[in-house]
A and B are shown apart, each in its own frame.
Chain A
Amino acid sequence: MKQEQIIKVGMADLNFAVQGAVLRTTGLGSCVGVTLFDTKSKIAGMAHVMLPSSDIARDSSFNIAKYADTALPELIRLMKAAGAAPDRMVAKLAGGAQMFAQLGKSDTLRIGPRNVESCKNILSVYPIPILAEDTGGNYGRTIEIDSFTGILHIRSVQHGVKEL
């Protein structure tokens, strides 16, 4: 068996993979892992989004991978440059949990659901269809997408492994 190449995507980070390489991000809590996949060119992309909108950025030279509204356009641009076509892309989402469910009242603490909503809004602009999602809940997730099959593997402490 061929050794899989794993490309790590950090918190507030994004990247793409080709030729069967695997994109991986660990410990998604309220952050959302957005994966895009172009079935024809076999190019996969992943963004680990931390906050819903760059409107709240208080530093001028912010990291565009951090916010949903700046990370997704950048990811799509990178994948396009690598040969993917936005109209063939499909999306899968994971994460956006409320890690401390008891604290769901204030807006900061509802950040998970807000992140998911914002990612969906941005995808709908293109539009890129959302094939599947595993979002919400109160637990963390580690995800991997295979750039050959587009299958998204999701692992959590309480619920084991599932595939989307």
Chain B
Amino acid sequence: MSLFKHLAGLKMDVLKEVGNIGAGNAATALSRLIDKPVDMKVPTVSILPFEEIAERVGGSEQVVVAVFLRVEGDAPGNMFFIIQADSAKKLLQQLLSLEPSENFDYSEMELSTLSEIGNILAGSYLSSLADFTRLFMAPTVPSIAVDMAGAILSYGLLQFGQMGDDALLIDTSFFEGRELMEGHFFLIPDPESFEKIFRALGVPTE
């Protein structure tokens, strides 16, 4: 925990606002894309042991669709757009009017669509964040995987692995009420990025 011990109330609130602004824009983008209202929950900022991060999306073995983007620039980090397998099917149905295939099989078309949705949403998350902080942030080309949440998320924790056993997660969940489609944005800034984010927002770091 030593890494985070100085992250007191104000700083946690700032990070929460970071999630709020980013995900708010992304939710708007999603809502335009599917032409349906999308609601968003108040973001949570938590310092979690690696083990518990996967619990946020149903546990280590829960099968999820995840779009991963590495954030490059002034405040690097990892970003995941995660949706439950059945929510992903519903999203595809709305967008492509496709008859969903069974189980965990996704066609090339479906995967590339989901990946593009992740790309659009992550792009709007990051660009609003970059505007707000005046930091340069650019996402890499998205990668998609349909697999166990634990296996996928551990990938985003490697930078933290060298520092300790906890990671700081900014989690925003959103849902399209009627169809009960639920998804999460996880932003996991690299340990070195916090100071830059705080400094950019004028939060005293000492």
Interface residues of A (CB under 8 A from B): 10-12, 26-31, 50-51, 56-59, 62-63, 66, 97, 99-103, 108, 111, 138-142, 156-158
Contact = CB atoms under 8 A, between A and B. Distances in A.
Nearest to A13: B51
A139 B151 contact: yes
Chain B's interface size range is 35 or more
A27 B60 contact: yes
Nearest to B59: A26
A27 B148 contact: yes
Interface of B: 2-3, 50-51, 54, 59-61, 63, 68, 70, 104, 140-141, 143-155, 157-159, 161-165
B151 A50 contact: no
A90 B131 CA distance: 56
Contact of A27 (B140, B149, B164): B149
Contact of B162 (A11, A51, A97): A51
B155 A29 contact: yes
A11 B146 contact: no
Contacts of B50: 11-12, 50
B141 A58 contact: no
A97 B151 contact: yes
Contacts of A142: 60-61, 148
A59 B146 contact: no
A52 to B, nearest CB: 11
Contacts of A51: 158, 161-162
A102 B154 contact: no
A100 B143 contact: yes
Given A100-B68, A140-B150, 17 more contacts: A11-B50, A11-B150, A26-B59, A27-B61, A27-B150, A29-B147, A29-B148, A29-B150, A29-B153, A50-B161, A59-B163, A66-B165, A103-B70, A108-B158, A108-B159, A139-B151, A157-B63
Contacts of A103: 68, 70, 140, 143
8 contacts: A26-B60, A27-B60, A27-B149, A27-B150, A28-B150, A29-B154, A100-B144, A138-B145
Interface of A, helix, strand, loop or mixed by DSSP: loop
Given A27-B154, A100-B68, A158-B104, A140 B147 contact: yes
Contacts of A29: 147-148, 150-155
Contacts of B155: 29-30, 99-100
The 6 closest A-B pairs by CB, nearest first: A27-B150, A140-B151, A29-B151, A100-B143, A27-B60, A140-B148
A140 B164 contact: no
Contacts of A30: 151, 154-155, 158
Interface centre among B70, B140, B141, B147 (most CB of A within 10 A): B147
B110 to A, nearest CB: 15
Interface centre among B3, B141, B144, B148 (most CB of A within 10 A): B148
A120 to B, nearest CB: 20
A141 B158 CA distance: 18
A139 B63 CA distance: 11
A13 to B, nearest CB: 8
A40 B129 CA distance: 59
